[in-house]
Amino acid sequence: MALLMDTRFLLRKVKDLRSLTPKRNRVKEKWAATHPKYPPTSLALQHFDATYSVQLGKMWPSVRVALLSERKYGALLNNFSHDAVLADLQEKGCRDFINDADTEAQPCLEQVSEEESSDVPVKKPDSDGQQLSPPQLSPNIKCVVFPRGDITRFKPARPDTYRLLGYYLLDAASVLPCLALNVQEGHNVLDLCAAPGGKTLALLQTQAIRFLCVNDTSVSRTLRLRKVLQSYVPKEFLTDENIRITSFDGTRWGDIERNSFDRVLVDVPCTTDRHSLTEDDNNIFSKTRTGERRKLPQVQLALLLAGIEATCPGGEIMYSTCTLSQIQNLSVVEQAIHLAREKHGIHLEVVDLQPFTHMFRKTFHFAPDLHLGEMVIPHLAANFGPIYMCKLRRLT
């Protein structure tokens, strides 16, 4: 019994590592400097509770739990790799959610409310009043996921004989804006905020782009983007004739190239809700980044306007974020449509994405009743997102 008591005492002493440190070498921990009273993740949760409980109503508790839980990933297959990874992943229970999309015609439901009262033009798919045909998707983009409720993790991709990785792990919902952009053969495409590179890789998988311009304001993030491309794309494809990588200020792109691109992806910086709730490092809710966070809607609006100017008449723009915030989503799109018309004489219409999102209802949960764009909302059974996307077509 005495031996047991001595052992317990020793364990208590070992847990306090300071007891093993000579007294002259001990340093008093500065709690205020090393442990902030309100870490960024706590500030983000307070902000989201106050904002999204009003915006999402009864949905917020379930969305909140999903955001605080481990996210689910998808594996974007690399068509440039020579390894047959699809069969291996399917043997483990994965499925290609794009190939498995619901291609049945969607019932045409009458849309009333905000769309009719808004001055934002919304392009509805042609229909005879009964059914909406599903849109055509690129056959070359493949992204596999584990079944609903299965939280199995993907193993890191391994290089093939040419040192190219077989797949890229990302939130599977982030592939949707690239799919919905509908890149066609011979298109010139601009990815205005490209780093870290997941959506850029998805665009390249279409194998239809004549010229791709990828840009990110941050030089360090652009370097990371280059490394990603070098790990997935053959060197002979990464030539000046095929792709251009830049680190310009995206908000000023309208001064660099106007009316030049058939498709433009504007995946803007945002509050990145899931990261803000789970990681203190590089968190937009850090007190040192308060000013940067408050300016986000202005930056997002400037980036979207620059993307609109860069698009040629008849071209299409995809605006996307990874936040649930209406201020960063719908409000930015509405302001951009108004300012493009009033200041630049550019007329736009919003392309209805409901037939598109209807195809993927087996894989993702979508927010109901958005009058502009579509949004994937996190759910424990399918913990992807959040991803907001709104597609615009330039008319003039």
**Residue 249 labeled ligand binder:** yes
Task: Confirm if 53 and 60 have CB atoms less than 8 A apart.
Answer: yes
Residue 11, number of CB atoms within 10 A of its CB: 9
At 30, give phi and psi (nearest 5°): -90, 95
**Residue 194 labeled ligand binder:** yes
Q: Which helix (H) or strand (E) holds 388?
A: strand 387-394
**Residue 250 labeled ligand binder:** no
Measuring CA to CA, which residue among 352, 386, 345 is closest to residue 372? Answer: 352
Residue type, 337: I
Q: Which residues pair with 8 in a beta bridge?
A: none
Q: Write out the two tokens for 358.
A: 């209807």
**Residue 196 labeled ligand binder:** yes
Catalytic residue among 94, 213, 322, 390: 322
Q: Write out the two tokens for 366.
A: 């979508």
**Residue 197 labeled ligand binder:** yes
Q: How far apart are CA 158 and CA 85, in angstroms?
A: 10
CA dihedral 379, 383, 384, 390 (to 10 degrees): 0
Q: How far apart are CA 229 and CA 261, in angstroms?
A: 21
Tell me the torsion sign for CA atoms 355, 185, 394, 199: positive
Instruction: Please give the C-alpha separations between residue 138 and each of 207, 208, 232, 341, 374, in angstroms, as whole numbers.
Output: 9, 9, 19, 32, 20
Q: How far apart are CA 199 and CA 215, in angstroms?
A: 12
Q: Which helix (H) or strand (E) holds 265?
A: strand 261-267
**Residue 193 labeled ligand binder:** yes
Q: Which residues contact 239 (CB under 8 A, 6 or more apart)?
A: none
Q: Is there a catalytic annotation at residue 322?
A: yes
DSSP string, 82-126: -S-HHHHHHHTT-EETTTT---SPEE-----THHHHSSS-EEPPP
Q: How far apart are CA 64 and CA 329, in angstroms?
A: 19
**Residue 198 labeled ligand binder:** yes
**Residue 195 labeled ligand binder:** yes
Q: Write out the two tokens for 146.
A: 């584990």
Q: Which residues are annotated as a binding site?
A: 193-199, 216, 249, 267
Active site residues: 322
Q: Which residues are annotated as a binding site for S-adenosyl-L-methionine?
A: 193-199, 216, 249, 267
